[in-house]
Amino acid sequence: MARYDHRAIEAKWRERWERDGIYEIDVDGAQRPFYNLMMFPYPSAEGLHIGNVFAFTGVDIFGRYMAMRGYDVFEPFGHDAFGIHSENFALKQNVHPMTLIRNNINNFRGQMKQLGTRIAWSHEVDTTDPAYYRWTQWIFLQLFKHGLAEKRLAPVNWCPSCKTVLADEQVIDGHCERCSSEITHRSLEQWFFKITSYADRLLKNLDWIDWSEVVKTAQRNWIGRSEGLEMSFPVEGSEESISFFTTRPDTIFGVTFMVLAPEHPLVERITTSDRRAAVEDYVAQAMRKTAVDRQTMERTGVFTGAYAVNPLNGDRVPVWVADYVLITYGTGAIMAVPAHDERDFDFARQYDLPIKVVVAPPGWSGGELSGAYTGAGVLVNSDEFDGIESKAAAEAIIAKLERDGSGKHQVTYRLRDWLISRQRYWGTPIPIVHCQACGPVAVPEEQLPVVLPYVEEFRPTGTDKSPLASVESFARTTCPSCGREARRETDVCDTFLDSSWYYLRYPSTEYDDRPFDAELTKKWLPVSNYIGGKEHSVLHLLYSRFVTMALHDMGFLEFEEPFQRFRAHGMLILRGAKISKSRGNIVTPDEYFESHGADTLRAYLMFAGRYEEGGDFSDQGIEGVYRFLNRVWDLVQRYRAQEAAEGPLPIEAQRLVHRTIRKVTEDIGELKYNTAIAALMEYSNDLQHRPALNSEEVRTFLLLLAPFAPFMAEELWEQIGGAYSIHTTSWPQADEELAREQEVAVAVQIDGRTRDVIQIAAGSDEEAALQRARESARVQRHLDGKRVVRTIYVPDRLINFVTASEG
RNA sequence: GCCGGGGUGGCGAAACGGUAGACGCGGCGGACUUAAAAUCCGCUGUCCCGUCAGGGACGUGUGGGUUCGACUCCCACCCCCGGCACCA
C-alpha cells in the first residue's frame, strides 16, 4: 500500500492548479460573486511567519467552502510594501528598499502557494508599484479637491530615532510604535485628511454593519463621542473670552478657575505683564516635555494673572495654564470644577485654589470633600437650579444659555484628523505642487503617477524635511496652474493611505486607466467577507471606512461601507509574547511544509483552538493531526483495494454521514474550525472500524476535508475516480431526516444528580419516558424511601425526579 | 482607571440553562517485532469504599444568589491577555 507522501502530492497539485488556473476567476462574468478578503501583509524579509499562516488559512478555508457552495469566490492577495518597516530594514542591511521588497514579495508569493491557498494571483497588487500608487495619489487628489485634505501647522508627534512624524495612533504610551523611543513634540506644516467631518457617520453606521463586536466597540471608543455644552467666559478687562466645552453643565456654578493648554493662542494675549516671564517659562518647558513626562508627572501649572467671569453667577475666577489640559481636545481650554472633577481637584489642592460643591454627594452635610465627587446628584449653591437633579439641571442650564445666546449644546469627538505627511523616502509621493503664487496645487490627474525617484541616499535627514527635498530633479518643477517655477511636495503619504483602498483595486487590476472599474466594483463590492487581526481595529479599518465614505459622497461608489462582514481572528502568540522580529521569536512555516506538509500545518493550526481566539503557538500536537491525515490516507487505500461490491449504506452509517455534514457546515459558517476538524476525526474514527467502506461515505468525507487539507483531498479524490477538481465540486447537503437519531440516551436524575442513562426512542412522550426511567434498577434504588414531588422532562435529553427533602 | 476577551484534566481544548471534559496531545498497559520505530487495541479529572462486580463524594478562578438543575444567568471580588488612557 502506497504511503502518504506529502511532498510529492503537494508539489503535484500546486503545479497542476496553477497550470489550470482553477482559482482564477472571470471577474466580469461571475454569476454568484463572493469577495473573500484577507488583510494583505507587509512583506517582511523574514517571510511569512506562523501568525500570518494562521490568519490566512482561516480565510482560505472559508473561501474554499464558499466556492464549493457554488459561489464565484474571488480571493486576491497583495503586498502592503511601503513604509518605515522596509525602509529601516533596508538601511540596516544596506540594500535599497526597491530591491529588498521585490525579493520579499517573491518569497511571500512562493510561501502562499506552498500553503495551498486558492488565491487569484492574476489580481495581485503591490502598493509600491507606480501602477498602484498612481491611484493612491488619485485618491489623495479627490480628497484634496473636495476640501477633505489640507495642509496646516500642527503640533505633531516626533520620533527622534525614526526621525519622523507619527500619527497619534502610532504612538503607544508616549513611545514610537516601531522603535519604542520616547516621542517629543514639534510644530510642523502637515497634510491632514478631515476624517473628523465623518465622525458622526462613522459612528452611526457601526449600529448596522456586520462586524465582530470587539472591533465595533474599539471604533466607538476611538471616535469617542461626547455631548455637552460649549460656551465662553469673558476675560476681565479685555476683549477676549475663553471658550470651552464641558460634559457637565450641571456643575457650572462650581467653577473656581479656568485652565488653558500651554499651546493655546490666548495664553500670550491675556497673560499680565507681571506674570509673563513665569508663563513663558512654563510654556517652553511644557513643549519640551515628552508625552510620557506629561502623563506621569504631577500636576503643574502657572497663573496668567488674568481673570474670567462666570456669567451665570458673576464669579471672578483666575485663569491658569497647565499641561493637563490638551490643546487637541475640545477647545483646548476648560472650566475647572474641582469639587466634581478629579484632575481639577488635584490641581486645586496643589495650588490652593477654592473648591466649591454644587452637586450634593449622597449623605453630604455641607462639609469639605476629601476627593472630587464625580457622580450625579441634586444641585446646591446653583441659584435657581438648586434642588434639581444633575441630568435635568444640565438640560435646563443648556436651555437657558441657548435662549440668551451665550452657549449651545455641542457634540465633541475624541477622533482627530488623519495626519498623512511623513518625512520619509519610502512612500507614495504626495501629488501636490507648491507655487509661490497659487499656493498648493494638485498635480493634474493625467500627469500621475508622480514617480518616487530612485535615490541612493534615502536615509532620513533628521530635519523636518523628507530626503526627497534634496533631490532637485524631483523637487523642482513648474506650477501646473500658472506655469511658473515651483516645488513639489516632498513629504510622502502614511502607508495607511495605501491600504485604505486596496480592496477597491483587486477586481480591477487589469485596468490601467482607472483605479476601479464601475461595473466590476458594483459586482464585487462591498467585500463579502473580510477577516483580519483586531490590532487593525481602529487604524486600517477606520481609515478604509472613511475613504470609502468620502468616495461614495463624491459619486464614485454606490455603497458607503466597504466591508459587509468583518471578523477578527485571534492573535497567535509565542511563549506568551507577540510574534515579531524585534522579539526574535519568528517561527516560519517552511520547516513544517517540509516535515509534515501544508495540509497538516493548516489543519493543525485550525484544530489547536478557536480561530477567533488565537492562542499560544506550540507544535505539541501537530503529530496528532499528521496521524489523522495518514489514517485518512490509509483508509482510502483500503477502500480502493476493497474487492467485494459494496452494499447499501446501513442506516446508522447514513446518520453519521449526515450529522457530520451538518456539523462541519455549521462550524465553518461560524469559523469554528477546531470543532469542525474534531467532527471529521470522529467520523474517520468510525470509518476505521468498518469492515467495508462505502463510496458515498468516502466521497463525502473527502469533500468535507477539502477546505482544510486541499492537497490531500484532491489527490485522494483523483484516486477514487472523482472528477477534477474536488475544489469545484458541490459541497454535500445534510439531509435532516437522515441525520435524526432514532434512539437517544436520556439522563435520569434524582434531585439533579445523574443516576442512570437510558436508551429510548427519540421523541418519546413524557409518560413513556418516565415509565422507562422508573424501570431502571439504579433509579429505583435511589428513589427508595423517597417521595417524588415533581418530575422534569426535557424530551430526548433528561428526566429529573425531584423528591421531598423530608423523605 | 476605563473598555473588550479570558480563567475548565498533566497540556491544547469541547459543551442550545439539561449526562462537564467531545476531539487531540502526553502518560500507562497490551498486541505486532529478535528488538526498536511506526501502527493497532484498551485505560487515563481527583479522592474514598470494595478482593472483584460495582458504588459514592468532590470537581469548571473565589464568595454569594436565582433555578428541579448553573462552565453557562445575576451580584461582589481575584488573576491573566489585549486595547485605550489627564478626552474636560
What percentage of chain A exceeds 90 in pLDDT? Answer: 59
Does nucleic acid strand B have an atom less than 7 angstroms from the CB of A621? yes
The CA distance from A720 to A723, in Å, is: 9
Contact A426, A97 (CB under 8 A): yes
A753-CA/B59-C1' distance, Å: 14
A638-CA/B3-C1' distance, Å: 56
| Closest nucleotide relative to residue A214's CA, C1' based | B4
Q: Is the predicted pLDDT of residue A296 greater than 70, yes or no? A: no
Question: pLDDT digits over A5-29, tens only?
Answer: 999 999 999 999 999 999 999 999 9
- Cell triple for A316: 471672578
- Any idea what DSSP says for residue A235? B
Angle between helices A622-641 and A598-607 (to 10 degrees): 120
Q: DSSP letters of A452-519? A: PPP-S--S--SSSS-GGGG-HHHHEEE-TTT-SEEEE---EE-HHHHTTSHHHHGGGTT-SSSSS-HH
What percentage of chain A exceeds 70 in pLDDT? Answer: 96
Which residues numbered 413-442 in chain A sit less than 7 A from strand B, measured from CB? Answer: 414
pLDDT band, very low/low/confident/very high, at A306 (cuts 50, 70, 90): very high
Does nucleic acid strand B have an atom less than 7 angstroms from the CB of A803? no
- Cell triple for A711: 492537497
Q: Residue for cell digits 468620502? A: A550
Largest CA distance in chain A: 107
The CA distance from A489 to A471, in Å, is: 12
Does nucleic acid strand B have an atom less than 7 angstroms from the CB of A741? no
Please, which contacts does A777-781 make with residues 24 or more away whose CB atoms are closer than 8 Å?
A779/A748, A779/A750, A779/A755
- Cell triple for A471: 533631490
A756-CA/B48-C1' distance, Å: 21
**Residue A139 CA, distance from chain mean position:** 22
Backbone dihedral angles phi then psi of residue A175, each to the nearest 5 degrees: -120, 155
- HSE, side-chain direction, 13 A CA sphere, residue A405: 0
Ranges assigned E (strand) in A534-658 = 565-569, 571-574, 577-578, 614-616
Which residues numbered 304-343 in chain A sit less than 7 A from strand B, measured from CB? Answer: 323-326, 328-330, 332, 334-335, 341, 343
| Beta sheet of A333-336, edge-to-edge order | A301-309, A316-322, A257-260, A333-336
Per mean pLDDT, which of A250-264, A291-305, A459-473, A755-769 is the most reliable?
A250-264
- Any idea what DSSP says for residue A722? P
A70-CA/B6-C1' distance, Å: 37
Look at residues A550, A540, A529 and name the one whose alpha carbon lies nearest to residue A499: A540
Look at residues A409, A416, A408 and name the one whose alpha carbon lies nearest to residue A197: A416
Q: Residue for cell digits 485604505? A: A500
Look at residues A387, A455, A384 and name the one whose alpha carbon lies nearest to residue A424: A455
Measuring CA to CA, how many Å separate A467 from each of A160, A426, A436? 16, 10, 22
pLDDT band, very low/low/confident/very high, at A751 (cuts 50, 70, 90): confident
Q: Which CATH number fits domain A741-803: 3.10.20.590, 3.40.50.1100, 3.40.50.620, 3.30.420.40?
A: 3.10.20.590
| Beta sheet of A743-750, edge-to-edge order | A753-761, A743-750, A798-803, A788-794
Question: pLDDT digits over A374-432, tens only?
Answer: 888 899 999 999 999 988 999 999 999 999 888 999 999 989 899 898 888 899 999 99
Which residues numbered 681-700 in chain A sit less than 7 A from strand B, measured from CB? Answer: 681-682, 685, 688-689
What's the length of chain A? Answer: 807
> What integer best gives the mean pLDDT of chain A?
89
| Overall CATH class of domain A225-413 | alpha beta
Amino acid (1-letter code) at residue A130: P
Which residues numbered 555-574 in chain A sit less than 7 A from strand B, measured from CB? Answer: 571
A33-CA/B5-C1' distance, Å: 34
- Cell triple for A196: 473628523
Cis amide prior to A444 (ω within 30 degrees): no
- Any idea what DSSP says for residue A125? E
Does nucleic acid strand B have an atom less than 7 angstroms from the CB of A246? yes
Quick one: which residue's CA is nearest to B70's C1'?
A: A752
Backbone dihedral angles phi then psi of residue A800, each to the nearest 5 degrees: -130, 120
Contact A394, A405 (CB under 8 A): no
For chain A, the structural domain boundaries read 6-21+30-136+497-592, 225-413, 741-803
Question: pLDDT digits over A203-247, tens only?
Answer: 999 988 999 888 888 899 899 999 999 999 999 988 999 999 999
Q: Is the predicted pLDDT of residue A295 greater than 80, yes or no? A: no
Q: Is the predicted pLDDT of residue A150 greater than 50, yes or no? A: yes
The CA distance from A310 to A236, in Å, is: 10
| Closest nucleotide relative to residue A168's CA, C1' based | B84
| Closest nucleotide relative to residue A613's CA, C1' based | B5
Contact A596, A626 (CB under 8 A): yes
- Cell triple for A154: 500642527
Q: Angle at Cα A669 formed by Cα A217 and Cα A536, nearest 5°?
A: 35
Contact A159, A181 (CB under 8 A): yes
- Cell triple for A440: 498648493
Average pLDDT over residues A603-614: 92
Q: Is the predicted pLDDT of residue A806 greater than 60, yes or no? A: no
Question: pLDDT digits over A691-717, tens only?
Answer: 888 899 999 999 999 999 999 999 999
Q: Is the predicted pLDDT of residue A462 greater than 60, yes or no? A: yes
| Closest nucleotide relative to residue A251's CA, C1' based | B88
Q: Is the predicted pLDDT of residue A537 greater than 90, yes or no? A: no
Higher-pLDDT residue of A127 and A785 is A127
Residue environment code for A445-462, b if the CB has 16+ CB neighbours within 10 A, otherwise e: eeebbbebeebeebebbe
Q: Is the predicted pLDDT of residue A538 greater than 90, yes or no? A: no
The CA distance from A358 to A386, in Å, is: 9
Does nucleic acid strand B have an atom less than 7 angstroms from the CB of A637? no
A621-CA/B25-C1' distance, Å: 5
The pLDDT of residue A587 is 86
**Residue A583 CA, distance from chain mean position:** 22
Average pLDDT over residues A353-364: 89
Between the two ends of chain A, the Cα-to-Cα distance in Å is 66
Q: Is the predicted pLDDT of residue A807 greater than 50, yes or no? A: no
Question: pLDDT digits over A493-528, tens only?
Answer: 999 999 999 999 999 999 999 999 999 999 999 999
Question: pLDDT digits over A661-694, tens only?
Answer: 999 999 999 999 999 999 999 999 999 888 888 8
A533-CA/B4-C1' distance, Å: 14
A149-CA/B14-C1' distance, Å: 52
The CA distance from A703 to A687, in Å, is: 15
Does nucleic acid strand B have an atom less than 7 angstroms from the CB of A780? no
A576-CA/B10-C1' distance, Å: 19
Alpha helices in A649-765 (DSSP H): 651-669, 673-688, 695-705, 710-719, 736-739
Q: Decide if domain A6-21+30-136+497-592 falls under CATH 3.40.50.620.
A: yes
